[in-house]
Structure 1
Amino acid sequence: MDTKQLLQLAGEFGNPLYVYDAEKIISQYQWLQKAFSKVGSLRVNYAVKALSNLSVLNLLKQQGSCLDTVSIEEVQLGLHVGYTPDRIIYTPNGVSMEEIETVAALGVQINIDNLSILEQFGAKHPTTPVCIRINPHVMAGGNSNISVGHIDSKFGISIHQMPHLLRIVENTGMHINGIHMHTGSDILDIEVFLYAAEILFETAIHFKELEFLDFGSGFKVPYKKDDIQTDVEELGKKLSKRFNAFCAEYGRELTLAFEPGKFLVSEAGFFLAKVNVVKQTTSTVFAGIDSGFNHLIRPMFYGSEHYIENISNPKGKERFYSVVGYICETDTFASNRRIAEIKEGDILCFRNAGAYCFSMSSNYNSRVRPAEVLWHEGKGHLIRERETFEDILRNQIVLDLTIA
């Protein structure tokens, strides 16, 4: 998408505004498929938590995608938009046994990541196929909050607990049909990924009725000009060869599964916000926008960097700005960033705003959440209406405190 199209959408739908480029999502999906075309059976489970809008889920469904879900509500979203239960995997953490049983009853693939629940579920439902999430104890990811495969992580069953795990499976007679891992996000070093894959293979050999191996995801995307990213082609070449060799050793063909979220939708997303005020202090020029971490929390939460462009003045002389929000706390999107000269009323565009942006938004400060638009076949389509004050009031009950 170009800046003229984005400005047009801001004028048509207002701001702040999230925009997603459907063609970019499709091309990312096809890129991953091509990179692993040498694998006999590939399954792509889109991570719903990255961007859960129904229209985006429907777009990926048409491409043949399956879903990776982490809550019963995400499962219900997938079913609502037309995914069949066999195209959904459910990988929760710390949820109740009741929720897991409810999802299993829907026919969705269950993925369990702790010994206690595994034993309880296996004892009650030994014939229900279960995937096991292991913790390979591999430190990977660009931030401690998104590195989930290290030794102190709350996610997965430790590979050092394998004897206990095998004993539970034997005692319950439960059916294990998949092994899963996820080391973290923003992985650059392919060798680290391949090292963790070997641990997955070593675990899988203990189970004789597997149907798939799920390698998680965590592919890094570029966040700024000339930024580095995961070499998907190299990973596809190396992992496909090793996976095919393992299948030969195992004695039958398995499905290789991934669960990409950011990789599929991050670069497709744009966040548009209007500059309310340009404020000069003794040392800093602030550009204050009509948004805050209630709409885009990643820079404050993860320290992530989003490329910011003044699409109202793209060829203007660059100056240094700190871009901040209107929340009544420090909500800094960027400090001393070179951006084309900004004036009040200009529209700023935050790139790489497709993943974990709207989905992590809130009504903090009682602000409404923005609209979402899908750019498809040369036209902007509204896929979520902007919230109103009535949405803030909805479900709240004013207690009558009148003293009788």
Structure 2
Amino acid sequence: MDLNLKVNQKGHMDIGGADTVELAEEYGTPLYVIDEDRIRDNYKRVYNAFTKYYSDFKILYACKANTNLSVMRILEEEGSCVDAVSPGEVYTSLKTGFSPDRILFTGNNVTNEELKYVDGTGVRINLDSISQLKRLSKVVDPEGYKISFRVNPMVGAGHHEHCITGGEMSKFGIKESEAVEVYQMAKDMGFNPIGMHTHIGSGILDPEPFKLATTVLMDIAGKVAQGADIDFEFLDLGGGLGIPYEPEENLLDIDPFAEEITGIFKSKLSEYGMDGAKKPYMYIEPGRYLVGDAAILLSRVNTIKESYRKFIGVDSGFNTLLRPAMYGSYHHIVVANKAKDAKEINENTPGVEKIDVAGNVCESGDLFARDRILPKVEEGDLLAIMNAGAYSFSMASQYNSRPRPAEVLVSDGKSEIIRERETYEDLYNNQIVPKRLEK
């Protein structure tokens, strides 16, 4: 595992050239810190790897991972497109400069009002069900209206059962066995189906499921192209590319992965006669891979508690990072003010201890780590919870009436606040007490 860990001369952890201890002192804790250059590097790594083997290629950032406006602007500048799964994400994407043709809306259990809103923005719509198709036909004029469909390829993978989005237990997409029929139905209604999409799961480090899903999707697309006479403009392989969270995991080697995936893609285009003068674009939808390892959550140790176990209590909880409580997910933890030897620490290292890192939310499940090996931790120490760029603030809440943290962007050693820390007043801004209940 590459911790992406840098240590300065003071023995403090650095991120983006900025001292984490100084950031915590300046902005307070808990604090999300985002490394701009890491996001840009991650994007370029994926884009360059895939375009080396297939030039008609686009990245659609799965923005549910992190919709901070500055993060979105960084990726817009890099040339990314967007995978949006809600009208709110469509709104955010447009607000941050993405043109409608760079946004693909893939909603699930979408209302008619949401379909009307998305249609009004000019964003492309990727349909998840026959129900959506029929309801969209009543919301818009179908004649020539370009759409695509999400197909369930009966292949699923992911780091947790809640993150598996393909297969017979998944709520997403139309059945592969009915794909030809659905595309023909759309054509008969007057629609112009021009794309196909799939997504098998999230947090995938093993390329084999992704390769299998690509093969299956391309076979479905080939049968639809021939059976319903569809000329595809794009085929979207979805996202789910993982990042290493645990020490024994390694970063996905993106270049050979891209070579294998594009090889399958091109081979299937040829097999089904879809490799004419105008080949379909290949889309993929990374989210976590682009932003996950680009941020950390800084949290201050305020309590050392010797109970039946030893607990290290910090000033944040699952309201700031839900993944450990929701999925049992591992996040590496570094004592940021004692980071010098963080990469080499193991249970045989002198002076280390095995402890539980507990949050400040009133729930037994509010734990960032169980039996974690760390150097001796003291009250006042600063912990850096790694890989907090994806599904951290985007899943954050005000549970226990705790205001959400600030976010800071760093680049070349300089830091800028990109989201103000919420106040107690922010907890109640949109609430209205009826006159009869006022005191």
Query: What is the TM-score of this pair, normalised by structure 2?
Result: 0.88
Query: 1:105 Cα shift?
Result: 2.2
Does residue 23 of the first structure (1) align with residue 37 of the second (2)? yes
Does residue 223 of the first structure (1) align with residue 257 of the second (2)? no
Opposite residue 254 of structure 1, the aligned amino acid is P
Does residue 254 of the first structure (1) align with residue 280 of the second (2)? yes
Does residue 125 of the first structure (1) align with residue 141 of the second (2)? yes
Query: 1:191 Cα shift?
Result: 2.4
Opposite residue 137 of structure 1, the aligned amino acid is M
Query: 1:254 Cα shift?
Result: 1.3
Name which of structure 1's ranges 242-251 and 293-302 shifts more when overlaid on structure 2: 242-251
Opposite residue 56 of structure 1, the aligned amino acid is V
Counterpart for residue 329 of structure 2: 304
Opposite residue 295 of structure 1, the aligned amino acid is T
Counterpart-to-counterpart distance in 2, 1:69 and 1:47: 7
RMSD: 1.6
Are the counterparts in 2 of residues 40 and 253 from structure 1 also a CA contact under 8 Å? no
Counterpart for residue 433 of structure 2: 398
Are the counterparts in 2 of residues 313 and 342 from structure 1 also a CA contact under 8 Å? no
Query: What is the TM-score of this pair, normalised by structure 1?
Result: 0.96
Map Cα deviations across residues 160-190 of structure 1 (whole Å, 9 max, x no partner). 2225413422421311111000000122332
Name which of structure 1's ranges 223-232 and 203-212 shifts more when overlaid on structure 2: 223-232
Does residue 43 of the first structure (1) align with residue 58 of the second (2)? yes
Counterpart-to-counterpart distance in 2, 1:273 and 1:402: 39
- Matched length: 402
- CA separation of 1:198/1:122 partners in 2, compared to 1, >3 Å: closer, same or farther? farther
Correspondences of 1:368-387 after superposition (within 5 Å): 368-387=403-422
Counterpart for residue 290 of structure 1: 315
Map Cα deviations across residues 187-207 of structure 1 (whole Å, 9 max, x no partner). 233222121112211222223
Counterpart for residue 58 of structure 1: 73
Map Cα deviations across residues 316-361 of structure 1 (whole Å, 9 max, x no partner). 8321110011111110110010011111111100000000001100
Are the counterparts in 2 of residues 309 and 340 from structure 1 also a CA contact under 8 Å? no
The SS at the match of 1:56 is helix
Counterpart for residue 158 of structure 1: 175
Are the counterparts in 1 of residues 293 and 386 from structure 2 also a CA contact under 8 Å? yes
Opposite residue 335 of structure 2, the aligned amino acid is N
Are the counterparts in 2 of residues 147 and 185 from structure 1 also a CA contact under 8 Å? yes
Query: 1:152 Cα shift?
Result: 1.4
Counterpart-to-counterpart distance in 1, 2:81 and 2:149: 18
Are the counterparts in 2 of residues 113 and 155 from structure 1 also a CA contact under 8 Å? yes
Correspondences of 1:99-248 after superposition (within 5 Å): 99-122=114-137, 124-126=140-142, 127-205=144-222, 206-207=224-225, 208-248=230-270
Counterpart for residue 10 of structure 1: 24
List alignment gaps of at least 5 residues for structure 1: none
Counterpart for residue 83 of structure 2: 68
Are the counterparts in 2 of residues 21 and 374 from structure 1 also a CA contact under 8 Å? yes
Are the counterparts in 2 of residues 217 and 260 from structure 1 also a CA contact under 8 Å? yes
Name which of structure 1's ranges 196-205 and 317-326 shifts more when overlaid on structure 2: 196-205
Counterpart-to-counterpart distance in 2, 1:232 and 1:370: 33
Counterpart for residue 380 of structure 2: 345
Query: 1:154 Cα shift?
Result: 0.6
Are the counterparts in 2 of residues 275 and 290 from structure 1 also a CA contact under 8 Å? yes
Counterpart-to-counterpart distance in 1, 2:129 and 2:437: 50
Which of 74, 77, 90 does residue 92 from structure 2 map onto? 77
The SS at the match of 1:89 is strand
Counterpart-to-counterpart distance in 2, 1:166 and 1:325: 50
State percent identity of aligned pairs.
39
Query: 1:230 Cα shift?
Result: 2.9
Opposite residue 362 of structure 2, the aligned amino acid is C
Map Cα deviations across residues 306-325 of structure 1 (whole Å, 9 max, x no partner). 00111122358321110011
The SS at the match of 1:349 is strand
Counterpart-to-counterpart distance in 2, 1:30 and 1:61: 13
List alignment gaps of at least 5 residues for structure 2: 1-5, 8-12, 342-350
Counterpart-to-counterpart distance in 2, 1:23 and 1:266: 13
The SS at the match of 1:312 is helix
Are the counterparts in 2 of residues 315 and 340 from structure 1 also a CA contact under 8 Å? no
- CA separation of 1:125/1:231 partners in 2, compared to 1, >3 Å: closer, same or farther? farther
Counterpart-to-counterpart distance in 2, 1:215 and 1:119: 25
Does residue 278 of the first structure (1) align with residue 304 of the second (2)? yes
Query: 1:231 Cα shift?
Result: 3.1
Query: 1:63 Cα shift?
Result: 0.5
Query: 1:265 Cα shift?
Result: 0.3
Name which of structure 1's ranges 14-23 and 219-228 shifts more when overlaid on structure 2: 219-228
Query: 1:116 Cα shift?
Result: 1.2
Name which of structure 1's ranges 393-402 and 146-155 shifts more when overlaid on structure 2: 393-402
Are the counterparts in 1 of residues 199 and 238 from structure 2 also a CA contact under 8 Å? yes
Query: 1:235 Cα shift?
Result: 1.7
Are the counterparts in 1 of residues 127 and 133 from structure 2 also a CA contact under 8 Å? yes
Are the counterparts in 2 of residues 19 and 373 from structure 1 also a CA contact under 8 Å? yes
Opposite residue 171 of structure 1, the aligned amino acid is D
Name which of structure 1's ranges 287-296 and 122-131 shifts more when overlaid on structure 2: 122-131
Counterpart for residue 264 of structure 1: 290
